Amino acid sequence: MRVETRHRRPAPPLYARALVLRERVLGPEHPDTAQSLNNLAVNAYYQDDLPAAERLMIQALHIRTARLGPDHPDTQSSRRSLAAIQQRLAGASPQPPSDPTAALAPLLAAIARIAAGDNGPRAAVEQSLAQLEQQGWMLRGPVAQIWQGKRDRDALVEGLDAQDTLLVERILELTQEYEAAAASIAELRSRAEHAVAQALAGDDVAQRAAVIAKLEILAQRSEREPIDPLWQELAAYLGELAAQLKQP
């Protein structure tokens, strides 16, 4: 049985770190930055910090309206969430804004990254999952199975309620996306290393310049991918290869 503290949890450090990273890398007006603001607003709402929830959701709505347009589903979602927050500020009892997949988006992404092979955030994620379980979220078991390589949706959600099922389904979607991204990145790294090796083996200045230009373009494109350590690491690696070729 769930307890009321389920929706009264402090915002995980992942939320704040995601916002800082997105603002620094993508800029304060990027749609992904708006997603982080939206997540923090929802969490503030569930902690009864309604002024902060309103302020953050207004920022998210402003960015989404400007960058995505007033009719985009994300913009409409932020508009509805802001209305719910403002209704509660006025003393009404609206439906809570957004859904658990939005409120826990950074954590779900970290879980999926681990499933795809990036164990960097594992300790922090395991701690967050333990805290969530104390609040009624039954995710530790399914997540452990996903990390072991299991992908059978029906088996993973057996015995879970609707909200936990929704979260597990989102983790599976993200895991598939990260695994596909990891495969693409591995192929790009291999092709880049082959091109660099060929350029270093010869004395063709024009070929070396062409490879450098391609590496720099790929690095810039990788930096514009959704915030994820794999893409950022690829961008840095490609930059290192380009710098290696520029050496006399």
150-189 tens-digit pLDDT: 999 889 988 887 778 888 988 998 888 878 777 777 787 7
| Residue 85 shares a structural domain with residue 13 | yes
| Residue 87 shares a structural domain with residue 23 | yes
| Residue 24 shares a structural domain with residue 115 | yes
- Locus of tokens 């695994």: 179
- Say if 170 falls within a structural domain: no
- Average pLDDT (71-79) is 83
- Say if 1 falls within a structural domain: no
Closest CA to 6 of 109, 123, 133: 133
Q: pLDDT band at residue 226, thresholds of 50, 70 and 90?
A: low
Predicted local confidence at residue 98, as pLDDT: 55
- Say if 153 falls within a structural domain: yes
Choose the final residue of a domain: 90, 124, 157. 157
Pure H helices in the chain = 13-25, 31-46, 50-68, 73-89, 100-103, 105-115, 122-134, 140-147, 153-157, 162-201, 205-223, 229-246
- Say if 165 falls within a structural domain: no
Give Cβ neighbours of residue 144 (< 8 Å, ≥ 6 apart): none
Predicted local confidence at residue 180, as pLDDT: 79
Choose the final residue of a domain: 130, 157, 184. 157
Give Cβ neighbours of residue 82 (< 8 Å, ≥ 6 apart): 54, 57, 58, 61, 97
Percent of the chain with pLDDT over 70: 83
- Say if 171 falls within a structural domain: no
| Residue 36 shares a structural domain with residue 149 | yes
- Average pLDDT (134-143) is 87
| Residue 113 shares a structural domain with residue 227 | no
- Say if 2 falls within a structural domain: no
| Residue 131 shares a structural domain with residue 186 | no
- Say if 79 falls within a structural domain: yes
Range of the domain at 233: 176-246
Between 152 and 233, whose confidence is greater?
152
Predicted local confidence at residue 232, as pLDDT: 65
Res 54 pLDDT > 60: yes
| Residue 146 shares a structural domain with residue 229 | no
Least confident of 11-20, 168-177, 203-212, 232-241: 11-20
| Residue 53 shares a structural domain with residue 103 | yes
Predicted local confidence at residue 149, as pLDDT: 93
Pull the structure tokens for residue 53. 């929830």
Number of domains in the chain: 2
| Residue 27 shares a structural domain with residue 115 | yes
| Residue 214 shares a structural domain with residue 96 | no
Percent of the chain with pLDDT over 90: 12
Predicted local confidence at residue 234, as pLDDT: 66
- Locus of tokens 């930055």: 33
Predicted local confidence at residue 3, as pLDDT: 30
Write phi, then psi, for 180 (nearest 5 degrees): -65, -40
- Say if 31 falls within a structural domain: yes
How many residues belong to the chain? 248
Predicted local confidence at residue 26, as pLDDT: 85
| Residue 16 shares a structural domain with residue 139 | yes
End-to-end CA distance of the chain: 68
Predicted local confidence at residue 182, as pLDDT: 75
Predicted local confidence at residue 236, as pLDDT: 75
Arithmetic mean of pLDDT over the chain: 78
| Residue 81 shares a structural domain with residue 139 | yes
- Average pLDDT (130-149) is 88
- Locus of tokens 């804004």: 97
Q: What is the pTM of this model?
A: 0.49
Predicted local confidence at residue 10, as pLDDT: 46
CA-to-CA distance for 127 and 132, rounded, in angstroms?
9
Choose the final residue of a domain: 109, 130, 157. 157
